[in-house]
Amino acid sequence: MAGRYLKRKIDDYLSAWKSDPERKPLIVKGARQVGKTESILHFAEKAYGNVIYINFVEEPKYKLITEDGYKTEDIIRNISRMDPSRHFAAGDTLLFFDELQEYPEIAASLKFFRIDGRFDVICSGSLLGIHYRRIESNSVGYKTDYSMFSLDFEEFLWAKGYDGEDTEEMLRHMETQTPFNESAMKTYGNLFLDYCILGGMPAVVREYIERGTFEGTLDIQRQLLADYREDVRKYADGMNQARILNVFEQIPVQLAKDNKKFQISKVAKGARFKDYRGCIEWLKDAGVIHVCYCLNYPELPLRGNYDDSRYKLYFFDSGLFVAMMDEEAQEDLRANRNLGVYKGALYENIVGEALVKSGYGLYYYKREDSTLEEDFFLRTKDFLVPVEVKATRGTSKSLRTLIESGKYPDIVCGIKLTAGNIGFSNGIYTFPYFCTFLLREYIRRAKPGFKREEI
């Protein structure tokens, strides 16, 4: 494990999972190199006397451990035969099957490990969405899933030496509608812009923390992008790999335009939606992109209330999005901290990414017969909260229309994210971009403006 360990949110989840007497085998999903293996091993080495680590990419011979069947005793016996030094102590042993995408069949053993109960099991891998139907059918009811992403802004702050007190302080400002002082705005604003440029891939963040500069980070990002392109060539069986890569390369180009809706017709000459639909699904299942669907109408429920042929595509990590910008834009951003033509695109991408990492699905709305358009929507049990991402200062006409017109009964207030400070006016709560990662907890605690008479 290179460099110091970066504290992650999965750490607390794994500890809680271990302390649950009814725990099931765990499958940790996520895009490649977001830190899954590192975090699981970090936890395992502290929590268990024996860790049986099997990586199906590095040691494909272990695919033979199921040749006698999927029962616990058969698998344990075959592992022991291949490596007699492995020690299995009931109640104090974790089996960690890594790179599950190389051998999804191992998921059929999870039922037997769960019934047997002597050993804990964690599986992990990239591109699991692509194989997930096979994994699900082999283990349904006998496993728990956890989705892991690259670092969010809070985890980035931890890496920089900040702690939970700072997060609580930010939340208090949001709940009490108290603006940040000039020093806090500058500090958090600069840290957030660094995070936008770097993204949250652990290798990139660690390089930045250890060097104290951006030196070397772009090289790591470009290598990660090369690895993702290689994954397409390696794992996109039976699909048009060139089309998948075309979609991948087009995302930053199309996000930089005023109309950020992803247009298949711009990907290649004569390209049609039906030919490319599977490509977008593949990238989504691989964890590389987030799809933001256009709502048919801004009302609850959200599921089933969207047009799956109208969508925006965002990168799962803003730093990789930045690394795909053209050279001039990159230089301007890194040297002058100027986002240029990509300003709206980058902020939209970072907000979409933060919402997914908080557990939200992504939806936007654009009325075809008017200028009414909203970037994102959050939902509570009873209400729909539109979220507007403002790259420049200006009015929020669409947000005001949704709140005030009376045509949208599920909407009683809205949230605007800007480079400015905290504020409230006409049912619109304004927060700095750097507060985006706290929106879910803020809404849970504050239940903002959910009585019309308060607006």
pLDDT digit string, tens, across residues 382-440: 899 999 998 666 678 899 999 998 899 999 999 999 999 999 998 999 999 999 999 99
Q: Is the pLDDT of residue 101 over 70?
A: yes
The token pair that represents 298 in the structure block:
């801004």
Q: pLDDT tier at 285 (50, 70, 90 boundaries)? A: confident
Q: pLDDT tier at 43 (50, 70, 90 boundaries)? A: very high
Q: pLDDT tier at 265 (50, 70, 90 boundaries)? A: confident
- Report which of residues 329 and 51 the model is more confident about: 51
Distances in Å between the alpha carbon of 87 and those of 52, 76, 116, 153, 302?
8, 10, 17, 40, 50
Angle (nearest 5°) at CA 324 between 321 and 329? 95
Mean pLDDT of 331-339: 74
d(CA 342, CA 178): 30
pLDDT on residue 31 = 92
pLDDT on residue 149 = 97
d(CA 281, CA 129): 10
310 membership: H or E segment, kind and range:
strand 306-315
Phi/psi at 119 (5° precision): -125, 145
Q: pLDDT tier at 453 (50, 70, 90 boundaries)? A: very low
d(CA 438, CA 270): 43
pLDDT on residue 455 = 35
Q: Is the pLDDT of residue 245 over 60?
A: yes
DSSP codes joined into one string, 61-102: GGGGGGTT-SSHHHHHHHHHHH-TT----TTSEEEEEE-GGG
Mean pLDDT of 83-90: 95
- Report which of residues 255 and 116 the model is more confident about: 116
Residue 366 β-bridge partners: 373
pLDDT on residue 333 = 78
pLDDT on residue 392 = 65
pLDDT on residue 127 = 73
What is the chain's mean pLDDT, rounded? 90
d(CA 307, CA 152): 29
CA 288 to chain centre: 9
Mean pLDDT of 270-277: 81
Cα separation of the two ends of the chain: 52
Greatest mean pLDDT range, 178-182, 282-286, 302-306: 178-182
pLDDT on residue 332 = 75
Q: Is the pLDDT of residue 120 over 70?
A: yes
Q: pLDDT tier at 454 (50, 70, 90 boundaries)? A: very low
Q: Is the pLDDT of residue 137 over 90?
A: no
**Helix spans in 256-326 (H):** 273-285, 318-323
